[in-house]
Amino acid sequence: MNSSDRSPEGLNSPEPKPKNFIQEMVERDLAEGRSGGRVHTRFPPEPNGYLHIGHAKSIHLNFGIARDYGGKCNLRFDDTNPLNEDPAFVESIRRDIRWLGFDWEDREFHASDYYDQLYEWAVHLVREGKAYVCELDEKEIREYRGTVTEAGRPSPWRDRPVEESLDLLERMRQGEFEEGRYTLRAKIDMAAANMKMRDPLIYRIRHAVHHRTGDRWKIYPMYDFAHCLSDAIEGITHSLCTLEFKDNRELYDWFVENCPVSSRPYQTEFARLNLTHTVMSKRKLKRLVEEGIVEGWDDPRLPTLSGMRRRGYTPEAIATFCDRIGVARTDSVIELALLEHHLREDLNARALRVMTVLDPLKLVITNYPEDRTEVFQALNNPEDPDAGTHELPFSRELWVERGDFREDAPRKWFRLAPGKEVRLKFAYFVTCEEVIRNEKGEVIELRCTYDPQSRGGQSPDGRKVKGTLHWVSARHAVECEARLYSNLFTEAHPEAEGKDLLECLDPHSLEIRPHCKAEPYLASVAVGESVQFFRHGYFVVDPDTNEERRVFNRTVGLRDSWAKLEKKLQPG
Ligand code: ATP
Ligand code: MG
């Protein structure tokens, strides 16, 4: 998948994009023949939630490196914590990666597939005197560990005989003991400067049911033990993870070097993606879903890939965005406006232009015959000469946008007002002659006349009409609902320390317009397809759509604040 061809940057720049530090490293490794000239990466989600745009960065990186260097990328479910994991999450993760355009072929693995092998290696460590069964509880382990400035103290069980540890470990596995009674710990160095090396846990007892292994296991391996060894089992060469695992790398190497593995993986850390106006921690996303603040994991306001798909994001826009932000070694926060900019660029190139009235007001053309219908040809996409046209019926009664009419119009008002002439896009010039009100005094209808000479919206005599409005023929209108989404949070940094998530929610992040009128073409647009509502932005058909009611989500408005900003920043 290479959508960068479409971006203007891609077209104009003769120089190839500079390599990021991971590409440089991989090229160096290949040149030096490390890992036998192989490149093998993996994407290792924990199936405890839905994937989000941050994961997309990792997916693009891992699958991208494999693609660019003739390697392979595995999908590995890092399912070592039975408590929060769920097969429904597994399915959603598969769907989202496929949607992004990546294929792991027959290489779908689960850390739980390796439980037997991992256990064998744990036994190996005990035999070698490099692991022991400990009886300290959680609190004691923390106390014994010491602090950053103070060395830890050895556990009283640290030197227990190998045979005793082996026996206890086996009985832990059989389920003989209650949770917390024993742990298996690596015997490394209680005075290590790196706290992760102070006899870290390998196994703990958990009487839980795992979604794949059932109740077969009563002990579960810790991430630090399972992850590196899973990498080794799969022959991973480059294990790419986010920066918060930097301190874990020493331990990663220790396990790989002290277990009899046949393949040696290496861990490299990169900066995670952070975005303004949203949250990305799974714990927080889960909270929003479980407390009913949003409508589910695929709520179009969430940065989950399922939510973004429903919102109308395209995999191409996400690919261009990931390419643009690159991969760095230090953390930063990216403006949401940049992501939206790439989305607009993509939709602008592909979305068909249609007319939909979100807040309808009746407009009657008094000098137009009642039984007449004309069909105009509407341009599908002015950006794409090959996109063609579609049919647009016109008749005496139309819907126009209520906001396009003002009775006491200011001087520079180029839309409808008593006595003013405007262009109805693709159709005719009309002049507002009369305003009809109900008994409450509200405007309910505009009476207009049209100029038959202005057919197709062309000026018959060179007279200028500044305003061009969208409209829908009332007789042909398709009823629909528009869901106008905006940011879930008013704050740019809702994840910042000391902020309560719920206090920075925008109560107007979803505004529903239940009675919109759309041109008939919209009856044929399929779920997931994107269109541009003339003057309103990009919309996508929501899965809630049915025969009676078509539902459209606003993906993003037309105004590109990022492009504007870039223009301003450009010299000259
Ligand atoms: P949590 O939010 O619970 O800490 P996680 O984000 O670590 O979860 P995982 O399922 O463990 O979720 O992540 C799978 C992979 O995606 C990991 O390799 C992780 O480093 C990467 N990843 C997660 N979040 C981001 C992010 N914001 N940017 C880049 N990569 C990410
Ligand atoms: Mg994680």
What was the pLDDT predicted at 1? 39
Bridge partner residues of 483 (DSSP)? 512, 553
* Lowest mean pLDDT segment, chosen from 150-154, 216-220, 319-323, 561-565: 561-565
Q: CA-based Rg of the chain, rounded to a whole angstrom?
A: 31
Please state which CATH number belongs to domain 3-270: 3.40.50.620
Residue 421 tokens, joined: 């002439």
Residue 99 near residue 309 (C-beta atoms within 8 A):
yes
- Assign 571 a pLDDT band (cuts: 50, 70, 90): low
Q: At what angle do helices 53-68 and 315-325 cross, to 10 degrees?
A: 80
Q: How far is CA 179 from CA 99, 157, 165, 206, in A?
A: 40, 18, 17, 6
Within 6 A (CB) of ligand 1 lie 44-46, 54-55, 57-58, 241-242, 272-273, 280-283
Average pLDDT, the chain: 95
Judge whether 158 and 187 are in contact, CB under 8 Å.
Answer: yes
Q: Are 358 and 399 in contact (CB under 8 A)?
A: no
The yes-or-no verdict on residue 7 having pLDDT over 60 is: no
- Tokens 């109900």 correspond to 438
Structure tokens at 62: 């891992």
Q: What is the pLDDT of residue 12?
A: 52
Contacts of 149 (CB under 8 A, 6+ apart): none
pLDDT tens figures, 38-68? 999 999 999 999 999 999 999 999 999 999 9
pLDDT at 561: 80
Judged by its nearest atom, the ligand closest to the C-alpha of residue 84 is 1
Using the predicted structure, report yes or no on whether residue 2 has a pLDDT greater than 50. no
Determine the atom of ligand 1 nearest the C-alpha atom of 62.
18
- The whole-angstrom separation of Cα 517 and Cα 530 is 17
Give the list of residues 6+ apart from residue 315 with CB closer than 8 angstroms, or none: 1, 99, 100, 101
Hey, is 241 helix, strand or coil? strand
Catalytic annotation present for 433? no
> Amino acid identity, residue 266?
Y
Distance of alpha carbon 203 from alpha carbon 120, whole angstroms: 12
Neighbours of 500 (CB within 10 A): 8
Residue 273 in contact with residue 59, Cβ under 8 Å? no
Token couple for 429: 């010039």
What are the CA-CA distances from residue 47 to residues 310, 433, 445, 496, 540 (Å)? Answer: 21, 63, 55, 26, 28
Spatial separation of the C-alpha atoms in residues 300 and 307, rounded to whole Å: 4
CA dist., res. 175 & res. 171, Å (int): 6
What are the residue boundaries of the structural domains of the chain, listed by start?
3-270, 282-351+480-569, 356-470
Are residues 86 and 48 in contact, defined by beta-carbon separation less than 8 angstroms? yes
User: How are strands ordered across the β-sheet holding 108-110?
Assistant: 40-43, 72-77, 108-110
Q: 362 an active-site residue?
A: no
Q: Is the confidence at residue 486, as pLDDT, over 90?
A: yes
Query: In whole angstroms, what is the distance from residue 100 CA to residue 115 CA?
Result: 30
Three-state SS string across 400-431, please?
Answer: EEHHHECCCCCCCCCCECCCCEEEECCCCEEE
Span from the CA of 46 to the centroid of ligand 2 (angstroms): 6
What pLDDT is recorded for position 14? 59
Is the pLDDT assigned to residue 363 strictly greater than 60?
yes
Strand-pair partners of 240? 268
Distance in angstroms (rounded) separating the CA atoms of residues 62 and 56: 10
Give the model confidence (pLDDT) of 100-117 as tens digits.
999 999 999 999 999 999
How far is residue 392's CA from residue 377's CA, in Å, rounded to a whole number? 6
What are 174-202's pLDDT values in tens digits? Answer: 999 999 999 999 999 999 999 999 999 99
Query: Catalytic pick from 27, 46, 445, 481?
Result: 46
pLDDT in tens, 199-220: 999 999 999 999 999 999 999 9
Mode of pairing for the β-strands spanning 510-518 and 356-357: antiparallel
Band (13; pLDDT cuts 50, 70, 90) = low
Would residue 411 be called left, alpha or beta, if left means φ above 0 and alpha means ψ between -120 and 50 degrees?
A: alpha
Give 37's DSSP letter: G
Query: Quick one: fold of 356-470?
Result: Ribosomal Protein L25; Chain P (2.40.240)
Task: Give the Cα separation of 144 and 147 in Å (integer).
Answer: 9
Measured between alpha carbons, how far is residue 365 from residues 269, 431, 452, 516 in Å? 66, 9, 11, 21
| pLDDT in the model for residue 4 | 41
Q: Do 282-351+480-569 and 3-270 fall under one CATH topology?
A: no
Which atom belonging to ligand 1 lies closest to the Cα atom of 273? 28
Torsional sign, CA 342, 345, 350, 356: positive
Ligand 1: distance of its center to the CA of 264 in Å? Answer: 23
Confidence check: pLDDT of 537 > 90:
yes
d(CA 159, CA 154): 9
Contact by Cβ (8 Å): 356, 480 = yes
How far apart CA 48 and CA 82 sit, in angstroms, is 9
| % of the chain at pLDDT higher than 90 | 91
Is the CATH number 3.40.50.300 carried by domain 282-351+480-569?
A: no
pLDDT at 8: 46
Residue 562 — pLDDT band, cuts 50, 70, 90? confident
The predicted structure's pLDDT at residue 526: 96
CA–CA dist 563, 557 (Å, integer): 13
Q: What is the pLDDT of residues 281-329, one digit of tens each?
A: 999 999 999 999 999 999 999 999 999 999 999 999 999 999 999 999 9
Pocket residue to mutate for ligand 1, from 41, 46, 51, 55, most atoms within 8 A of Cβ: 55
H or E segment and range at residue 531: strand 530-533
CA–CA dist 328, 22 (Å, integer): 9
pLDDT digits (tens, 9 = 90+) for 233-242: 999 999 999 9
C-alpha 572/C-alpha 569 separation (Å) is 9
How many angstroms does the Cα of residue 198 sit away from the middle of ligand 1? 25
What confidence score (pLDDT) does residue 84 get?
A: 87
**486 CA distance to ligand 1 middle (Å):** 25
d(CA 180, ligand 1 centre) in Å:
28
The Cα 248–Cα 268 span in angstroms is 11
Ligand 1 atom at minimum distance from 274 CA: 27
Query: Can 282 be counted among the known catalytic residues?
Result: yes
Q: Which ligand is nearest to the CA of 44?
A: 1
Distance CA 394, CA 474 (A): 9
| Percentage of the chain exceeding pLDDT 70 | 97
Q: Which of 173, 185, 282, 423 is catalytic?
A: 282
